[in-house]
Amino acid sequence: MPILNKDMSLCISLAARPSNIGTRFHNYLYDLLGLNFVYKAFAPADIALAVAGIRGLPIRGAAVSMPYKEAVIPLVDVMDPSAQAIDSVNTIVNNHGVLTAYNTDYIAIARLLKDHRVPNSHTVLLRGAGGMAKAVAAALRDAGFTAVTIVARNENTGRALADLYGFAWQNDVNGSTADLIINVTPLGMAGADETAQSFDDATIAAAQVVFDVVALPSETPLISAARKAEKKVITGAEVIAIQAEEQFVLYTGVRPSPEQVREASEFSRR
C-alpha cells in the first residue's frame, strides 16, 4: 500500500459489527494492483452522520452491512436498479458529491446458487427478513425457486418479505425441514451470537444444502454442524468474496482477475 497521501482515495465499510475481512480484501488488491486507495472499517455511532461524512469528506465509497442496508436509503441521492429492485443497499459510491446506492449481495447469491448447481426444485427455509434476506429472496425467485418459506419472528417484516416474492411465512422453524436451508440472521456471527446455531441438528440432517451468509467466522456453528453431517455447504466467505469483488470494481473501475480475487479472499480470512 502506498504511503498515505493527499491524493489517496478512501473507501470504508459501515457495520454494527465490523470485521477485517473487507479491509484486508480491498487493501490487498489495492497493493497488488498499485492503486492509490486505502480501505477502513467503521462501526458508526450515527448512520445519518456517517453517510453525510461520505459526501462531505469526500469518501470514494462505502460498503454497508447489517443493520444499515435499509436505513441508508433515504440518505443517498440515486438508487441503482440493483438496489432499487429490492429496497436494500450494500454499496455506496460517491461521484463528485452524488451518492449512488447499489446492491452486490444479490449478484453474489445468484452466482453461488448457479455455481453450486442448487436445483430450483429444492424446497427452501430462509431464516431472516432484513436487507440481506431481501437480496437472497430476490435471487431465489429469479432463479426459479418457488417452494420457499421465510422464517422470521417479526410477523410484519416476515410477512412483508414473503408477500413481496410470493413465498410463505412462519415465525419459527418449529420442526420444519427443507432441501435448502439458509441463515440470513446474525446467529453464529462473531460477537454476542457466535455460539448460536441458526438451525437445529434435525433440520440440518433433513437438508441437502446448508447456506450461511455469515462471513465472520466463515466456519459458523451452522456450517460446522453441516460439515459434520456431510452436507453440501455454501459459506459467507464465498458471499463476501463475490460481493466485495463487485464493490471493488465500482470503487476503482478495475476488474481483478479470478486468481487475484482468490488470493485476496484467502488473505482476508487468515
Q: Which residues are catalytic?
A: 69
User: Is 147 exposed, middle or buried, given 0-12, 13-18 or 19+ CB atoms closer than 10 A?
Assistant: middle
Which position has the grid cell 463528485? 96
CA 150 to chain centroid, in Å, comes to 17
Ranges of beta strands (E only) in the chain are: 9-14, 37-42, 61-64, 78-79, 91-95, 98-102, 124-127, 148-151, 168-170, 180-183, 209-212, 232-234
All three cell numbers of 125, joined, read 427455509
What are the φ and ψ backbone dihedral angles of 81, each rounded to 5 degrees? Answer: -55, -30
Do the beta carbons of residue 12 and residue 65 sit within 8 Å? no
DSSP state at residue 173: -
Do the beta carbons of residue 28 and residue 264 sit within 8 Å? yes
DSSP state at residue 193: T
Helices 236-252 and 21-33 cross at an angle (nearest 10°) of: 50
Angstrom CA distances, 38 to 25, 154, 197, stand at: 11, 39, 35
**How far is it, in rounded angstroms, from Cα 29 to Cα 35?**
8
